[in-house]
Structure 1
Amino acid sequence: MDKQRLIPLIVATALFMENMDSTVIATSLPAIAADIGTSPLTLKLAITSYLLSLAVFIPASGWTADRFGARMVFSIAIGVFMIGSIGCALSQNVHHFVIARILQGMGGAMMTPVGRLVLLRSIDKSALVNAMTWVTVPALIGPVIGPPLGGFITTYFSWHWIFLINIPIGLLGIFMAMKYIDPIKSEDPERFDLYGLVLAGIGLAGIAFGLSVAGLGLLPWPIVAGLVAIGTISMTLYVMHARRTGSPVLDFSLLRLSTMRASIIGGFLFRLGIGALPFLLPLLMQEGFGLTPFQSGLVTFASAVGAMGMKTLAARIIRAFGFRYMMTVNAVVSAVFLAACALFTVTTPLLLIFIILVVGGFFRSLQFTAINTVAYAEVEPAQMSRATTLVSVNQQLAISAGVAVGAFSVESTMLYQHVTELSADVFPPAFIVVAIISAVSAYFFWQMPDDAGHEISGRKAVEISSRKGAEKAATKAASEGTGDARDQRLG
């Protein structure tokens, strides 16, 4: 297998490990809590330490990759994630578990943006769409297969294996990375912006953590609001600082590029809506329809089936229609399938639910592939590390915001209906709200130039070929017409 196919597979495998691990624990919380002598509620707060660690260390990933080389940092990140996984499996109390999850977060914070950077520096732009499909799939199927897999492992084996299965995967990933990925690093790494990292870390941690627990009842609302406020103030101070430094850890000047701006702003809104789905759907299936966690996981797995089906068609679809038109239309189509979840009732056949989720998963996966790819269409090679960092931070915040909006919508509906227990009736408004937010992203995709990302999608070559074919046909027709007229005169 050539590097153009092997490198995306190596990166995707590591990202799948990280994405699945962050969701697989959800179903196993009661068993883990009972085993280490704490309550599931306390353990949920401990798990959010992973999110905090991600938020703090993602901004440092770009500079670290430039300074020490993307291959080395990517391999070390996998190793750190493995050490954190072993720590989780060996945890005897909640404090051990917190420390282990922070280590996992440090590894995950480097794996995602640096993994993309490895791709961008190793793959030709013309092959980037196909490569990005491999990176997109783990982010989509991890959250949907995580819960049923966690339930299966916990029920039939032991919760410890949730973490220990990362070890052989991680070892294989490190071996493949060191063997097949070139040791590329920046010739002139920029000065490290420690002050900016502190401000951005506090800002992102406050906002992401505050949003992730908002509406879940884990912390009082004043504390949640305080966390978000502190995060917002810190991020405001960071933006002011970034304007005065030549090497910011989060480079917002990249938003001047039309494709990056559409990917960040439009992508945030789209991900916010879609990010609420893995949170809302299992709750609807279990609390509303009375399915077991395992049954619920099997139903929601349909989204992963659709995502996998997209992989072979994404490049062809984008090449045929172009990024701008395809992303604008597909954002609305994906939002419609998200809104369709509001129509699910106890009497809705599971087969129909499965079909809707499969088809919706196809369109969502196509959109994620396009968003992840077009972001780098106008980015210069020297700016790639900053770009991957900015994109990763944006994705993390969008997912946290999606869960917060979904939870807030459900809570608001419960207050409006004067009910205290979750039921199927309180979920439809939440699906409608997040679907509308996702649909609004179409406006920002439409703002891109008509030829946005053509050098990546290959559409320019298709258009030139079509234009030449049309010109040739026109010339031939004109020539034939002239010949016919001459024959008529001679006749």
Structure 2
Amino acid sequence: MENLDGTVLSTALPAMAADLHEDPVALKLALTSYLLALAVFIPLSGWAADKFGARKVFSAAIIVFTLGSVLCGLSTTLLSVVLSRVVQGAGGAMMVPVGRLVILRTAPKAELVTAMAWLTIPALIGPLIGPPVGGFIATYYHWRYIFWINAPIGLLGVILAALFIPDLKEEEVWPLDVRGALLSGVGLSATVLGFSLVGGEVESSFVVVVPLLAVGAVALLLYWGHARRTATPILDLGLLNIPTFRAALIGGFLFRIGVGAIPFLLPLLLQLGFDLSAFQSGSLTFVAAAGAMAMKTTAKPILRAFGFRRVLILNALLCSLFLIANIFFKASTPHWIMMTVLLVGGFFRSLEFTSLNAIGFADIDQRDMSRATSFSAVGQQLSQSFGVAIGAVGLELSRAAHGGGALRTEDFAVAFLAVAAVSAASVLFFTPLAQDAGDELAGRLMEE
């Protein structure tokens, strides 16, 4: 449901912008406001699951997310869309990390790669059907129905959670770090909001963006000092001393910046640059999710053959090349060529995601699993806002270079090159990994 919403919304952004009388680039706030809420509430997800039980928190999160979806469909201004997306984010912040926590606590380590791969297959149904469904609705009906389709899905989700999700709960729950939650909430939300506003008018960058980023930086520095003195910080920075977790968090953060920009940049390129309808755009981009689903059954054999370190390094560079490949798309490019590039690119991106999601928890003790899950989720979601911001800055700089006005096809080259370079930089954090990192997860130790 969460992945469906993100991909459907990305496809419908131009239609929403026209209906709300907003600049399409400004609609990035509809994407990043959701990420802002995640930044605030995700740190609480691990503690809430331990305290109240995974099933209760998971079900409540689905209800909140569904309510936010209904409110989005009722919105009539950009501000109301943004506020409704914040409600959605509050639900998503508890929904996705807690779902992952259930898997991490119940699956044996030798089966973790397979479990994480299977976990993402249902989630990939969203990106698979989202672009064509969203494009169809935005083209032939109204974008509001995009959000209302979550109501029956949410109801079914609550029923299935009651039937199948174990109510995992810790008997001894670490005390809630209230001060840390406030500092991290202010720091992360100000940072996300600041970066989401980057790429707008120059005046706003000095008046709004710079103070927001300054507040975010100060709050995060204060949290860093607080976390070093606290026995149970809400975001445990001590986990960064574990090489596999550090590589997955920081390297994964950089890698996901490039991927996080794709749902924002690609639909704009296809619809504004190539003059395709939302439905035509969605009918092209959905194949990336199909490639991702195809990879899930091959992830473990690939990791068993080559090891986590080699896969993470080489695959990150390969995925960056596929980001750059978008630059060479033209309005005259045959659609089957575009779809082939997106299909294969989706395959390799999914391999990187599965590898990162598994290696990050390879050396985490069960007692630290909830905090590691929360910390990891914060990094993942924060990277998406950075990706959208960097992509928007690239577009605005290129547009300013030719005197402003409507976006041109060539404006997207700067944006895709920028996010591809950041994604490629992730290899700097994968290279220090030990050659045998994660071998137990990949099943290589048993072979040896």
Give the TM-score, by structure 1 length.
0.84
Question: 1:136–1:368: 8 Å Cα contact kept in structure 2?
Answer: no
Letter in structure 2 aligned against 1:269: L
Distance 1:226 1:141, change over 3 A: farther
Distance 1:433 1:112, change over 3 A: same
Letter in structure 1 aligned against 2:177: D
Instruction: Give a deviation string over 1:196-235, Cα, whole Å, max 9, x none.
Output: 1111011111111221232155982121222122111111
Deviates more, 1:234-243 or 1:443-452: 443-452
Would you say 1:362 and 2:352 are equivalent positions? no
Which residue of 372, 394, 406 corresponds with 1:421? 406
Q: What is the aligned partner in structure 2 of residue 117 from structure 1?
A: 101
Q: What is the aligned partner in structure 2 of residue 341 from structure 1?
A: 326
Structure 2 unpaired stretches of 5+: none
Would you say 1:149 and 2:159 are equivalent positions? no
User: Distance between the aligned counterparts of 1:216 and 1:134, measured in 2?
Assistant: 40
User: Distance between the aligned counterparts of 1:291 and 1:265, measured in 2?
Assistant: 37
Distance 1:239 1:145, change over 3 A: farther
User: Distance between the aligned counterparts of 2:31 and 2:78, measured in 1?
Assistant: 10
Q: What is the aligned partner in structure 1 of residue 61 from structure 2?
A: 77
Question: 2:256–2:383: 8 Å Cα contact kept in structure 1?
Answer: yes
Which residue of 43, 49, 53 corresponds with 1:59? 43
Would you say 1:134 and 2:112 are equivalent positions? no
**How far did residue 171 of structure 1 move?**
2.3
Q: Secondary structure at the match of 2:234?
A: coil
Instruction: Give a deviation string over 1:75-126, Cα, whole Å, max 9, x none.
Output: 1111221222233345577776555433222111101111111111122222
Instruction: Give a deviation string over 1:108-166, Cα, whole Å, max 9, x none.
Output: 11011111111111222222112212344566664575454223224444444323322
**How far did residue 260 of structure 1 move?**
0.5
**How far did residue 281 of structure 1 move?**
1.5
Letter in structure 2 aligned against 1:118: V
User: Distance between the aligned counterparts of 1:212 and 1:103, measured in 2?
Assistant: 17
Q: What is the aligned partner in structure 2 of residue 266 from structure 1?
A: 251
Q: What is the aligned partner in structure 1 of residue 181 from structure 2?
A: 197
Would you say 1:108 and 2:92 are equivalent positions? yes
User: Distance between the aligned counterparts of 1:95 and 1:220, measured in 2?
Assistant: 17
Question: 2:304–2:444: 8 Å Cα contact kept in structure 1?
Answer: yes
Question: 2:261–2:384: 8 Å Cα contact kept in structure 1?
Answer: yes
Distance 1:100 1:277, change over 3 A: closer
Question: 1:136–1:365: 8 Å Cα contact kept in structure 2?
Answer: no
User: Distance between the aligned counterparts of 1:97 and 1:274, measured in 2?
Assistant: 24
Q: What is the aligned partner in structure 2 of residue 325 from structure 1?
A: 310
Matches within 5 A, 1:453-464: 453-462=438-447, 464=448
Q: What is the aligned partner in structure 1 of residue 231 from structure 2?
A: 246
Letter in structure 2 aligned against 1:75: S
Distance 1:218 1:78, change over 3 A: farther
Could you say what the CA RMSD is over the residues aligned between the two structures, in angstroms? 2.6
Matches within 5 A, 1:447-458: 447-458=432-443
Count residues in correspondence.
445
User: Distance between the aligned counterparts of 1:347 and 1:453, measured in 2?
Assistant: 45
**How far did residue 31 of structure 1 move?**
6.9
**How far did residue 259 of structure 1 move?**
0.6
User: Distance between the aligned counterparts of 1:132 and 1:219, measured in 2?
Assistant: 45
Instruction: Give a deviation string over 1:281-316, Cα, whole Å, max 9, x none.
Output: 222212222222221221222211211111111111
Question: 1:54–1:105: 8 Å Cα contact kept in structure 2?
Answer: yes
Which residue of 337, 343, 364 corresponds with 1:379? 364
**How far did residue 45 of structure 1 move?**
5.0
Would you say 1:406 and 2:391 are equivalent positions? yes
Structure 1 unpaired stretches of 5+: 1-16, 465-491
**How far did residue 348 of structure 1 move?**
2.5
**How far did residue 418 of structure 1 move?**
4.5
Deviates more, 1:379-388 or 1:183-192: 183-192
Deviates more, 1:44-53 or 1:192-201: 44-53
User: Distance between the aligned counterparts of 1:386 and 1:219, measured in 2?
Assistant: 40
Which residue of 271, 277, 285 corresponds with 1:300? 285
Letter in structure 2 aligned against 1:131: A
Would you say 1:226 and 2:211 are equivalent positions? yes
Question: 2:43–2:181: 8 Å Cα contact kept in structure 1?
Answer: yes
Instruction: Give a deviation string over 1:413-440, Cα, whole Å, max 9, x none.
Output: 3334445331122222322222222122
Distance 1:425 1:87, change over 3 A: closer
Q: Secondary structure at the match of 2:229?
A: coil
Distance 1:139 1:441, change over 3 A: farther
Which residue of 185, 188, 191 corresponds with 1:207? 191
Deviates more, 1:187-196 or 1:212-221: 212-221
Question: 1:208–1:396: 8 Å Cα contact kept in structure 2?
Answer: no
Distance 1:349 1:93, change over 3 A: closer
Which residue of 259, 270, 282 corresponds with 2:267? 282
Letter in structure 2 aligned against 1:67: K
Deviates more, 1:136-145 or 1:47-56: 136-145
Larger Rg: 1
Q: Secondary structure at the match of 1:420?
A: coil
**How far did residue 447 of structure 1 move?**
1.1
User: Distance between the aligned counterparts of 1:358 and 1:55, measured in 2?
Assistant: 30
Letter in structure 2 aligned against 1:345: K
Q: What is the aligned partner in structure 1 of residue 162 from structure 2?
A: 178
User: Distance between the aligned counterparts of 1:112 and 1:68, measured in 2?
Assistant: 16
